[in-house]
A and B are shown apart, each in its own frame.
Chain A
Amino acid sequence: EPEVTQTPSHQVTQMGQEVILRCVPISNHLYFYWYRQILGQKVEFLVSFYNNEISEKSEIFDDQFSVERPDGSNFTLKIRSTKLEDSAMYFCASSEHRDYDEAFFGQGTRLTVV
Protein backbone atom coordinates (compact mmCIF):
# COMPACT_ATOMS: atom_id res chain seq x y z
CA GLU A 1 0.00 0.00 0.00
CA PRO A 2 1.39 3.44 -0.87
CA GLU A 3 2.46 5.53 2.07
CA VAL A 4 3.86 8.90 3.00
CA THR A 5 7.46 8.64 4.19
CA GLN A 6 9.18 11.10 6.49
CA THR A 7 12.85 11.43 7.39
CA PRO A 8 14.42 11.58 9.87
CA SER A 9 12.20 9.94 12.46
CA HIS A 10 13.89 11.94 15.21
CA GLN A 11 15.96 15.11 14.96
CA VAL A 12 17.74 16.84 17.80
CA THR A 13 19.02 20.33 17.13
CA GLN A 14 20.52 23.25 18.98
CA MET A 15 18.38 26.32 19.45
CA GLY A 16 19.03 28.79 16.66
CA GLN A 17 20.03 26.13 14.14
CA GLU A 18 18.25 25.47 10.88
CA VAL A 19 16.51 22.16 10.31
CA ILE A 20 14.99 20.59 7.25
CA LEU A 21 12.33 17.96 7.62
CA ARG A 22 11.79 15.76 4.61
CA CYS A 23 8.76 14.02 3.23
CA VAL A 24 8.01 11.83 0.25
CA PRO A 25 4.27 12.04 -0.45
CA ILE A 26 2.30 9.34 -2.21
CA SER A 27 3.33 9.48 -5.83
CA ASN A 28 0.04 10.44 -7.51
CA HIS A 29 -0.96 12.93 -4.86
CA LEU A 30 -1.04 16.62 -5.70
CA TYR A 31 -1.80 18.30 -2.38
CA PHE A 32 0.71 18.38 0.42
CA TYR A 33 0.47 19.48 4.03
CA TRP A 34 2.49 19.95 7.18
CA TYR A 35 0.96 19.63 10.63
CA ARG A 36 2.58 19.65 14.02
CA GLN A 37 1.72 18.25 17.41
CA ILE A 38 3.32 19.55 20.56
CA LEU A 39 3.51 16.77 23.12
CA GLY A 40 0.17 16.22 24.80
CA GLN A 41 -1.67 18.70 22.59
CA LYS A 42 -3.85 18.55 19.51
CA VAL A 43 -2.60 18.34 15.97
CA GLU A 44 -2.28 21.79 14.40
CA PHE A 45 -2.22 22.77 10.76
CA LEU A 46 0.85 24.59 9.47
CA VAL A 47 0.65 24.86 5.70
CA SER A 48 -0.78 23.37 2.54
CA PHE A 49 0.97 23.31 -0.81
CA TYR A 50 -0.26 22.77 -4.34
CA ASN A 51 1.15 23.42 -7.77
CA ASN A 52 4.46 24.62 -6.32
CA GLU A 53 2.99 27.26 -4.11
CA ILE A 54 1.47 27.68 -0.70
CA SER A 55 -2.30 27.49 -0.88
CA GLU A 56 -3.04 28.06 2.80
CA LYS A 57 -1.04 28.68 5.94
CA SER A 58 -1.82 29.12 9.60
CA GLU A 59 -0.74 31.84 11.99
CA ILE A 60 1.89 29.45 13.30
CA PHE A 61 3.61 29.39 9.91
CA ASP A 62 5.59 32.60 10.26
CA ASP A 63 8.70 33.82 8.46
CA GLN A 64 10.95 31.25 10.08
CA PHE A 65 9.14 28.47 8.27
CA SER A 66 9.31 27.66 4.59
CA VAL A 67 8.27 24.77 2.38
CA GLU A 68 9.63 23.54 -0.88
CA ARG A 69 9.15 20.80 -3.40
CA PRO A 70 12.69 20.68 -4.78
CA ASP A 71 12.07 17.80 -7.15
CA GLY A 72 9.26 15.56 -8.25
CA SER A 73 9.14 13.50 -5.13
CA ASN A 74 10.31 15.38 -2.03
CA PHE A 75 8.42 17.94 0.03
CA THR A 76 10.40 19.73 2.71
CA LEU A 77 9.73 21.92 5.71
CA LYS A 78 12.53 24.24 6.76
CA ILE A 79 12.74 25.98 10.09
CA ARG A 80 15.38 28.69 9.83
CA SER A 81 16.24 29.43 13.44
CA THR A 82 14.76 26.91 15.78
CA LYS A 83 13.33 27.83 19.15
CA LEU A 84 12.66 25.64 22.14
CA GLU A 85 8.93 25.90 21.47
CA ASP A 86 9.40 24.36 18.03
CA SER A 87 9.93 21.02 19.72
CA ALA A 88 7.07 18.87 18.47
CA MET A 89 6.07 16.02 16.23
CA TYR A 90 5.85 17.21 12.65
CA PHE A 91 3.57 15.34 10.29
CA CYS A 92 3.58 15.49 6.55
CA ALA A 93 0.39 14.53 4.74
CA SER A 94 -0.78 14.30 1.16
CA SER A 95 -4.01 13.88 -0.72
CA GLU A 96 -4.89 13.13 -4.32
CA HIS A 97 -7.76 15.56 -4.65
CA ARG A 98 -8.50 18.86 -3.05
CA ASP A 99 -12.13 18.61 -2.43
CA TYR A 100 -13.05 15.38 -0.80
CA ASP A 101 -10.07 13.22 -0.04
CA GLU A 102 -8.79 12.42 3.35
CA ALA A 103 -5.16 13.23 3.98
CA PHE A 104 -2.74 10.36 4.37
CA PHE A 105 -0.19 11.04 7.08
CA GLY A 106 3.42 10.06 7.38
CA GLN A 107 4.79 8.55 10.55
CA GLY A 108 6.07 11.91 11.76
CA THR A 109 9.41 13.48 12.64
CA ARG A 110 10.02 14.16 16.29
CA LEU A 111 11.95 17.44 16.53
CA THR A 112 13.69 18.21 19.79
CA VAL A 113 15.27 21.63 20.19
CA VAL A 114 17.79 21.89 23.03
Chain B
Amino acid sequence: AQTVTQSQPEMSVQEAETVTLSCTYDTSESDYYLFWYKQPPSRQMILVIRQEAYKQQNATENRFSVNFQKAAKSFSLKISDSQLGDAAMYFCAYRISGSRLTFGEGTQLTVNP
Protein backbone atom coordinates (compact mmCIF):
# COMPACT_ATOMS: atom_id res chain seq x y z
CA ALA B 1 0.00 0.00 0.00
CA GLN B 2 1.13 3.51 -0.74
CA THR B 3 1.95 5.70 2.23
CA VAL B 4 2.83 9.36 2.55
CA THR B 5 4.78 10.65 5.53
CA GLN B 6 5.23 14.20 6.69
CA SER B 7 7.64 14.14 9.59
CA GLN B 8 7.18 17.78 10.63
CA PRO B 9 3.86 18.31 12.45
CA GLU B 10 4.66 22.00 12.84
CA MET B 11 6.99 24.49 11.21
CA SER B 12 7.45 28.22 11.59
CA VAL B 13 9.11 30.84 9.44
CA GLN B 14 9.72 34.55 9.59
CA GLU B 15 7.90 36.66 7.07
CA ALA B 16 9.97 37.11 3.88
CA GLU B 17 12.18 34.13 4.65
CA THR B 18 12.28 30.67 3.11
CA VAL B 19 10.94 27.46 4.57
CA THR B 20 11.03 23.86 3.36
CA LEU B 21 8.39 21.29 4.22
CA SER B 22 9.35 17.63 3.98
CA CYS B 23 7.45 14.72 2.51
CA THR B 24 8.41 11.14 1.80
CA TYR B 25 6.33 8.41 0.25
CA ASP B 26 6.47 4.72 -0.33
CA THR B 27 5.39 3.12 -3.56
CA SER B 28 6.31 0.36 -5.95
CA GLU B 29 4.89 2.25 -8.89
CA SER B 30 7.08 4.05 -11.39
CA ASP B 31 4.47 6.41 -12.77
CA TYR B 32 2.55 8.59 -10.37
CA TYR B 33 1.72 12.14 -9.38
CA LEU B 34 2.59 14.17 -6.32
CA PHE B 35 0.82 17.21 -4.96
CA TRP B 36 1.00 19.77 -2.24
CA TYR B 37 -2.32 21.07 -0.93
CA LYS B 38 -2.80 24.02 1.37
CA GLN B 39 -5.57 24.06 3.96
CA PRO B 40 -6.12 27.47 5.57
CA PRO B 41 -8.33 27.90 8.65
CA SER B 42 -11.38 27.87 6.38
CA ARG B 43 -10.42 24.18 5.83
CA GLN B 44 -10.80 24.32 2.08
CA MET B 45 -8.21 22.25 0.23
CA ILE B 46 -6.29 24.36 -2.27
CA LEU B 47 -3.82 22.91 -4.74
CA VAL B 48 -0.42 24.55 -4.44
CA ILE B 49 1.73 22.57 -6.83
CA ARG B 50 1.91 19.24 -8.65
CA GLN B 51 4.70 17.06 -9.98
CA GLU B 52 4.57 14.21 -12.47
CA ALA B 53 6.99 11.45 -11.54
CA TYR B 54 8.16 10.99 -15.12
CA LYS B 55 9.40 14.57 -15.23
CA GLN B 56 12.90 15.17 -13.95
CA GLN B 57 12.47 18.92 -13.77
CA ASN B 58 11.18 20.20 -10.46
CA ALA B 59 7.86 22.03 -10.61
CA THR B 60 7.64 25.69 -9.67
CA GLU B 61 4.69 28.00 -9.14
CA ASN B 62 5.75 31.54 -8.33
CA ARG B 63 7.15 31.44 -4.76
CA PHE B 64 6.51 27.71 -4.43
CA SER B 65 8.87 25.06 -5.71
CA VAL B 66 9.51 21.41 -5.07
CA ASN B 67 12.58 19.26 -4.71
CA PHE B 68 11.58 15.92 -6.18
CA GLN B 69 14.02 13.09 -5.55
CA LYS B 70 12.49 10.03 -7.17
CA ALA B 71 15.11 7.53 -6.05
CA ALA B 72 14.84 8.71 -2.48
CA LYS B 73 11.03 8.99 -2.74
CA SER B 74 11.19 12.48 -1.39
CA PHE B 75 9.05 15.46 -2.36
CA SER B 76 9.72 18.62 -0.37
CA LEU B 77 8.02 21.98 -0.78
CA LYS B 78 9.99 25.20 -0.62
CA ILE B 79 8.19 28.46 0.05
CA SER B 80 10.26 31.54 -0.72
CA ASP B 81 9.59 35.05 0.54
CA SER B 82 7.01 33.71 2.99
CA GLN B 83 3.89 35.78 3.47
CA LEU B 84 1.41 35.91 6.31
CA GLY B 85 -1.19 34.43 3.98
CA ASP B 86 0.94 31.31 3.60
CA ALA B 87 0.08 30.27 7.14
CA ALA B 88 -1.92 27.07 6.84
CA MET B 89 -1.82 23.31 7.11
CA TYR B 90 0.07 21.81 4.18
CA PHE B 91 -0.65 18.31 2.97
CA CYS B 92 1.52 16.26 0.68
CA ALA B 93 -0.44 13.83 -1.48
CA TYR B 94 0.28 10.98 -3.86
CA ARG B 95 -1.76 9.49 -6.62
CA ILE B 96 -1.28 6.83 -9.25
CA SER B 97 -3.13 7.02 -12.51
CA GLY B 98 -6.86 6.69 -12.08
CA SER B 99 -6.73 6.11 -8.36
CA ARG B 100 -7.30 7.86 -5.09
CA LEU B 101 -5.27 10.61 -3.50
CA THR B 102 -3.32 9.44 -0.47
CA PHE B 103 -2.49 12.24 1.94
CA GLY B 104 0.19 12.72 4.54
CA GLU B 105 -0.54 13.80 8.08
CA GLY B 106 0.03 17.45 7.34
CA THR B 107 2.43 20.17 8.49
CA GLN B 108 1.07 23.23 10.25
CA LEU B 109 2.99 26.26 9.02
CA THR B 110 3.11 29.44 11.09
CA VAL B 111 4.41 32.65 9.55
CA ASN B 112 5.74 35.15 12.08
CA PRO B 113 5.61 38.86 11.24
**Partner-B contacts on A (CB < 8 A):** 33, 35, 37, 41-45, 48, 55-56, 58, 89, 91, 93, 98-100, 102-108, 110
Contact = CB atoms under 8 A, between A and B. Distances in A.
Majority SS at the chain A contact face: strand
B10 to A, nearest CB: 13
A48 B95 CA distance: 13
B64 interface: no
Given A99-B97, A99-B98, A100-B52, A42 B45 contact: no
Nearest to A57: B100
Residues of B in contact with A, size category: 20 to 34
A103 B44 CA distance: 13
Contacts of B43: 37, 89, 107-108, 110
Interface of B: 33, 35, 37, 42-47, 50, 52, 91, 93, 97-106
A33 B100 contact: yes
A76 to B, nearest CB: 19
Given A42-B106, A107-B42, A102 B35 contact: yes
A80 to B, nearest CB: 23
A63 B104 CA distance: 26
A18 B104 CA distance: 30
